[in-house]
């Protein structure tokens, strides 16, 4: 079947096109083609009167296809599809030909050649539409059910925002308690509030939404399948061994004979095998660390039925329509000997320093020794031009200044040195830099070619710096502590592999486009926020978490989403069931199924198919076509394009 009553519209684009391309000549060149019923030029096809022209022509000329030659389809394809639909025609019986960017703009100084190219492009568009078939978008129902992976500040923020808009949230956290790294931090900038307080407040809000947020802690995602609209999730909830409430948990914890380094405090303190990481941690039940528990039963004696040392893991399964990844980051762990790390006592990282502050009241002490002089070394594990981490970790400059100021306020007579490359206290955070200077903290600048060196001399650590600010003077600083301002590293979670989300060059998760679609990934229905996407501070993290919630709500509140129909299609008569296409598919959308008669045929999952065309390319029988880009269309387009003008 050939669509032989096509309307063709050549747009002047207010001179953008017509100053170069002779639009009248283009109309002349196509108006007598056998498939063309009417050809016109117009000043602005995208304007309301321009669109009305198409609508009226569809009715008056009984058109069965439309070609608009104007700007890039990125701009107005949806506009014209709308006009075609309003005129009563299937919107996929339409093609937009780009003669502005592809002709007028790039061949500005060759008007004749530009006109010839425009004619060829328009003719090929007519050829394509003449063989076009009606298509409809693939509608996918979106139940208001969302999986949020990770319950740090990003995951909690996203879960709360979604729940408040009546979305059912499954919030899955690997650790036994929620709150992530913000709960661990000391003061959060720029509010100056304690990280644990911010988390506590969010937890209070979370409790109010309990009916809509199903929280799983100590839980791992075991499998994740399906696509946008219907992901199937299997979660393994590991045993907590504390199964109910008890008024004497604190006694039970005290009686526990096991002591192990407390990971929440980076081993600065010890905890028991039954423990809370910090006061006010959530969920409110303690957890038993079975790797270290010797099942002596002391806690059971006190809390009885609340504790079950034989509890087993449970598996939970559910379906969701979208997935939010909020899996966070790891602080960079310096190599042994990097600036004296793990080589000399007193060389620690910034997150450890923040815990140390939280634990040291009155005096700042480390391993029993009072700390008076501190050197902060910046950009440890960041900005390595030819190294592992080329990127800047964004938050560390301000976090370090913030921590140093907090230390100065909490402890008397500290002497603080900052050994930095560039102080990136961007935006309003400038005030931390300014204040540190005012308070007498000293700044020394190094270049990466000549980094500072940390040595030990008697009781003191000696930091040797070639200081740029004094034009290369070699300075030796005797200090009690060296704090390494470490960057953020990407994590690699199993769920990333299960979902096949793409990574950026820096190893963090990749958004579709930082400006156009900043919270979506190339995998439909999988969104990202917080520090799994890039290094960020809490302000930027919570903003991105809310943005993810908003994007999700554009699906779930409406109840459905529509996917473009340009996917692969199998001609069952031609398909021999060879299966060559199956491994080619990057999204595992093709399956060989037995049909009546015992023969095997390829079947395409409409929702999984991304229309890449790889299967069509490999098929020896040309049995697979891409809807909207079928072989017969493409051949006719090429013929039209090479024909004499």
Instruction: Identify residues 594-633 at the interface with other proteins (CB under 8 A).
Output: none
| 145-149 vs 322-325, strand pairing mode | parallel
Contact 329, 491 (CB under 8 A): yes
The nearest distance, CB 422 to other proteins, in angstroms, is 4
- The residue among 309 and 547 lying less far from other proteins, judged by its C-beta, is 547
**Quick count: other Cβ atoms within 10 Å of Cβ 159?**
31
Nearer to other proteins (CB atom), residue 166 or residue 643: 166
State which residue, 141 or 599, has the beta carbon closest to other proteins. 141
Q: Which is nearer to other proteins, 252 or 405 (CB)?
A: 405
Q: How far apart are CA 500 and CA 525, in angstroms?
A: 12
CA distance 122 to 102: 12
**Binding-site member from 74, 207, 295, 301 for other proteins (CB under 8 A):** 74
Residues 388-407 within binding reach of other proteins (CB under 8 A): 390-392, 394, 397
Query: Using the rule CB under 8 A, which residue among 161, 298, 354, 493 binds other proteins?
Result: 161
**Segment interacting with other proteins, rule: CB under 8 A, options 23-31, 278-286, 362-370, 545-553:** 545-553
Q: Is residue 210 classed as helix, strand or coil in its secondary structure?
A: coil
Element at 118 (helix H, strand E): helix 111-130
Query: Least separation, in Å, of the C-beta of 373 and other proteins?
Result: 25
Helical H runs in 131-230?
153-164, 180-184, 195-208
- Rounded to a whole number of angstroms, the minimum distance from the CB of residue 177 to other proteins is 18
Q: Is 49 in the site for other proteins (CB under 8 A)?
A: yes
Q: Which of 321, 501, 553, 630 binds other proteins (CB under 8 A)?
A: 553
Among the residue ranges 242-250, 300-308, 458-466, 550-558, the one whose residues contact other proteins (CB under 8 A)? 550-558
Within positions 523 to 542, which residues make up the interface with other proteins, using CB under 8 A? Answer: 533-535, 538-540, 542
Nearest-approach distance from CB 549 to other proteins, in angstroms: 4
CB of 262 or CB of 540, closer to other proteins: 540
Taking CB under 8 A as the criterion, which residues in 284-323 touch other proteins? none
Sign for the pseudo-dihedral over CA of 155, 156, 161, 163: positive
Residue 209, token pair as written in the block: 């939404």
State the Cα angle at 434 between 431 and 438, rounded to 5°. Answer: 130
Residue 209 contacts other proteins per CB under 8 A: no
Residue with the two structure tokens 């999730």:
233
| 90 binding other proteins? (CB under 8 A) | no
Nearer to other proteins, 399 or 614 (CB): 399
Report residue 254 as tokens: 């005290």
Please count the other Cβ atoms lying within 10 Å of the Cβ belonging to residue 323. Answer: 27
Longest dimension (CA), the chain: 96
The 3-state DSSP class for residue 559 equals coil
Minimum CB distance to other proteins, residue 131 (Å): 26
The string of DSSP codes covering 311-359 is ---EEEEEEESEEEE---EEE--PPTTGGGTTTSTTEEEHHHHHHHHHH
Under rule CB under 8 A, which residues in 558-587 are in contact with other proteins? 558-559, 562
Rounded CA-CA distance 129/359 in Å is 72
Q: Which stretch binds other proteins (CB under 8 A): 26-34, 161-169, 576-584, 607-615?
A: 161-169
User: How does 28-48 read in b/e, with b if 16+ C-beta sit within 10 Å?
Assistant: ebbeebebbbbbbbbeebbee
Window contacting other proteins (CB under 8 A); options: 75-83, 254-262, 401-409, 581-589: 75-83
Whether residue 190 is preceded by a cis peptide bond, meaning omega within 30 degrees of 0, is yes
CA distance 610 to 589: 9
Q: How far is the CB of 77 from other proteins (least distance, A)?
A: 10
The reply on whether position 114 binds other proteins by CB under 8 A is: no
- Span 415-444, contacts to other proteins by CB under 8 A: 422-431, 434
Q: Which two tokens stand for residue 247?
A: 């008024």
514 contributes a contact to other proteins by CB under 8 A: yes
Q: Which of 516, 573, 596, 598 binds other proteins (CB under 8 A)?
A: 516
In sign, the C-alpha dihedral spanning 292, 294, 300, 306 is: positive
The crossing angle, in degrees rounded to 10, of helices 153-164 and 195-208 is 30
Shortest distance, position 30 Cβ to other proteins, whole Å: 24
Of 14-22, 61-69, 126-134, 448-456, the segment contacting other proteins by CB under 8 A is: 14-22
**Pick 390 or 643: Cβ nearer other proteins:** 390
Residues 343-372 that bind other proteins (CB under 8 A): none
Residues 455 to 474: which contact other proteins by CB under 8 A?
468-469, 471
Q: How far is the CB of 401 from other proteins (least distance, A)?
A: 12
Residue 535 CB, shortest distance to other proteins, in Å, is: 8
- The yes or no reply on residue 75 touching other proteins (CB under 8 A) is yes
C-alpha span between 11 and 97 (Å, rounded): 10
Q: Which of 21, 37, 45, 153 is the binder for other proteins (CB under 8 A)?
A: 153
Task: Tell whether residue 324 is a contact of other proteins (CB under 8 A).
Answer: no
Comparing C-alpha atoms, which of 235, 218, 216, 227 is closest to residue 323? 227
3-class SS string, 351-396: HHHHHHHHHCCCCCEECCEECCEEEEEEEECCCCCCCCCCCCCCCH
Number of residues interacting with other proteins: please give it, by CB under 8 A.
83
The Cα–Cα gap between 66 and 7 comes to 5
């Amino acid at each position: 079947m050939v669509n032989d009553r096509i309307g063709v519209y050549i747009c002047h684009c207010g001179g953008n096109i017509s100053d170069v391309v002779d639009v009248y000549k283009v109309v002349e060149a196509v108006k007598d083609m056998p498939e063309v019923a009417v050809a016109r030029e117009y000043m602005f096809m995208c304007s309301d009167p321009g669109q009305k022209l198409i609508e009226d022509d569809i009715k008056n000329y009984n058109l069965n296809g439309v070609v608009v030659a104007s700007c890039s389809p990125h701009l107005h394809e949806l506009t014209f599809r709308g006009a075609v639909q309003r005129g009563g025609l299937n919107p996929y019986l339409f093609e937009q030909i780009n003669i502005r960017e592809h002709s007028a703009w790039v061949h500005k100084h060759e008007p004749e050649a530009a006109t010839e190219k425009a004619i060829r492009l328009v003719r090929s568009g007519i050829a394509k539409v003449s063989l076009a078939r009606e298509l409809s978008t693939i509608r996918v129902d979106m139940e208001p059910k969302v999986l949020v992976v990770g319950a740090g500040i990003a995951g909690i923020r996203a879960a709360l925002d979604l729940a408040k808009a009546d979305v059912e949230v499954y919030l899955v956290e690997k650790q036994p308690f929620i709150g992530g790294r913000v709960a661990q931090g000391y003061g959060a900038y720029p509010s100056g509030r304690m990280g644990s307080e911010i988390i506590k407040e969010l937890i209070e809000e979370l409790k109010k939404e309990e009916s809509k947020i199903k929280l799983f802690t100590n839980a791992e995602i075991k499998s994740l399948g399906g696509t946008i609209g219907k992901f199937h999730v299997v979660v393994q909830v590991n045993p907590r061994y504390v199964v109910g409430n008890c008024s004497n948990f604190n006694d039970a914890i005290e009686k526990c004979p096991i002591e192990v380094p407390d990971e929440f405090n980076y081993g600065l303190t010890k905890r028991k095998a039954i423990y809370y990481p910090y006061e006010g941690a959530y969920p409110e039940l303690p957890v038993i660390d079975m790797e270290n528990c010797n099942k002596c039963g002391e806690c059971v004696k006190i809390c009885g039925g609340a504790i079950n040392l034989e509890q087993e893991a449970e598996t939970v399964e559910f379906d969701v329509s979208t997935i939010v990844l909020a899996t966070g980051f790891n602080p960079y762990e310096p190599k042994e000997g990097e600036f004296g790390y793990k080589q000399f006592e007193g060389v620690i990282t910034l997150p450890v320093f923040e815990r140390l502050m939280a634990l040291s009241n009155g005096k700042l002490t480390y391993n029993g020794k009072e700390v008076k002089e501190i050197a902060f070394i910046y950009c440890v594990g960041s900005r390595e031009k030819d190294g592992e981490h080329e990127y800047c970790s964004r938050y560390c400059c301000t976090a370090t200044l913030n921590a140093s100021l907090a230390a100065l306020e909490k402890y008397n007579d500290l002497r603080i040195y900052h050994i930095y490359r560039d102080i990136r206290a961007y935006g309003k955070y400038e005030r931390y830099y300014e204040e540190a200077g005012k308070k007498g903290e000293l700044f020394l600048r190094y270049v990466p070619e000549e980094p500072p060196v940390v040595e030990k001399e008697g009781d003191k650590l000696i930091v040797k710096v070639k200081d740029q600010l004094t034009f290369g003077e070699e300075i030796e600083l005797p200090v009690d502590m060296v704090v390494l301002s470490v960057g953020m590293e990407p994590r690699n979670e199993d769920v990333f592999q299960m979902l096949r989300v793409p990574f950026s060059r820096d190893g963090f998760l990749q958004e579709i486009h930082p400006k156009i679609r900043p919270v979506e990934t190339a995998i439909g229905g999988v969104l990202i926020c917080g520090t799994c996407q890039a290094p960020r501070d809490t302000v930027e993290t919570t903003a991105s978490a809310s943005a993810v919630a908003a994007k999700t709500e554009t699906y779930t509140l409406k109840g459905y989403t529509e996917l473009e129909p340009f996917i692969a299609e199998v001609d069952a008569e031609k398909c021999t069931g060879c299966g060559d296409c199956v491994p080619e598919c990057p999204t595992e959308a093709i399956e060989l199924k037995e049909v009546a008669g015992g023969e095997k045929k390829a079947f395409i999952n409409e929702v999984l198919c991304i229309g890449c065309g790889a299967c069509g390319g490999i098929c020896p029988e040309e049995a697979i076509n891409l809807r909207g880009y079928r072989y017969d269309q493409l051949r006719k387009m090429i013929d039209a394009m090479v024909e004499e003008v």
